[in-house]
Amino acid sequence: MGMRVTVNGEEKTFDRELTVMELLEVMNVKFREVGLAVAINEEVVPKSEYTKRKIKEGDRIEIVQLVGGG
């Protein structure tokens, strides 16, 4: 059985532990220095921790992408 987490309100199951960066890759979200934020359990994760911070069973993750334009 996999690890269950909630991403942007949707339950997801992964077969292994992922870092924040790996989660972005799996979700097809392009990493950007500006205009991208990730929060785990309502705590914003600094971009410097994306490759180290592991996602755990039951985490609630929000991926927010700001889209520019006018």
The tens-digit pLDDT sequence of the chain (70 residues) is 789 999 999 999 999 999 999 999 999 999 999 999 999 999 999 999 999 999 999 999 999 998 876 6
Predicted local distance difference test score (pLDDT) of residue 21: 98
Q: Which two tokens stand for residue 8?
A: 């942007």
Predicted local distance difference test score (pLDDT) of residue 66: 87
> In Å, how far are 1, 12, 16, 64, 70 from 38, measured between CA atoms?
25, 16, 19, 6, 24
Predicted local distance difference test score (pLDDT) of residue 69: 67
What residues contact 4, with CB distance under 8 A and at least 6 apart? 11, 12, 13, 57, 58
